[in-house]
Amino acid sequence: MSTVTLRGVTLHYDYQTQANPRGTIVFLNGVMASLSSWKLYAEYFYKRGYNILLHDFRGQLLSDKPEGPYSFETHAMDTFALLKTLKIDKAHLIGTSYGGEVAMKMAAMDASVIASISVINSVSELDDSLIDKVKRWKTLAASYDAETFMRGMSKDIYSDDFLAANQAMIDKRIEAMQALDSSYFDGQITLYDTFLEDVTMTDELKNINVPTLVVSGENDTLKPPKFSRLITSAIEDAVHVMLPGSGHVSIFEKPSELKLILVGFLE
């Protein structure tokens, strides 16, 4: 893992390279996540011959958390700067939730360094239900209590079946979160404010002209499939795939299926 200071912030990143790569994949985090969340996917695609770039956005776990809110353009510009610094001329972007929204913003702004985007469980606009849930997350984060925060959020991001079968995983995440200082929760609040104030990009989707995959979880109650259908209809030639039985965090709930979908799209 490395750090680099770009545009006034220090970002943590991990860049895995190899001889004669098939290309570079940039994985873009969900709002609660960190670069370690992509471990299964990074290993899988590295073995298939891709260079892999992971990083925490400003405001996330390992990167700087300047005062916000930010904007999705800010995250996009940070990521473009990181690509330039690492001399990456072209990359596939794979983003989940918040990261998928950053991917769409990047593709709408400047497609010259983007080979494709894969947008997983993301939105281009808000509805009342989503606004209410994210506002509740702000209250949970403001408790600065890992258990209150994680248990309160879990029912919004995981399907009922996954939660019932994976309580040990939730307990482990709570334990790890209890070791974090308050800056993690402050960063989360800033990112939630960014999301609530700046996810207004439906009108920009017509500017995206790179191959686009849109993935939704059938049982995603946070960002339901209607948002993915809207994105797909707005981007020319975009492909939409539904993951049966998946809640919002498809990268954890359906890793085997999702890896196959992504491989099929990229290759």
pLDDT computed for residue 88 by the predictor: 98
- Arithmetic mean of pLDDT, 126-137: 98
CA distances from 105 to 4, 191, 198 (A): 22, 16, 11
In this structure, are residues 232 and 238 in contact, taking their beta carbons and an 8 Å threshold?
A: yes
Q: Chain-wide mean pLDDT for the chain?
A: 97
Could you check whether the bond before residue 69 is cis, i.e. omega within 30 degrees of 0? yes
Report pTM. Answer: 0.97
pLDDT tens profile 9-53: 999 999 999 999 999 999 999 999 999 999 999 999 999 999 999
Please give the Cα distance from 79 to 85 (Å, whole number).
Answer: 10
pLDDT computed for residue 244 by the predictor: 97
Per-residue confidence band for 195, with pLDDT thresholds at 50, 70 and 90? very high
- Arithmetic mean of pLDDT, 199-217: 97
Domain boundaries, the chain: 2-125+200-266
2-125+200-266: CATH architecture: 3-Layer(aba) Sandwich (3.40)
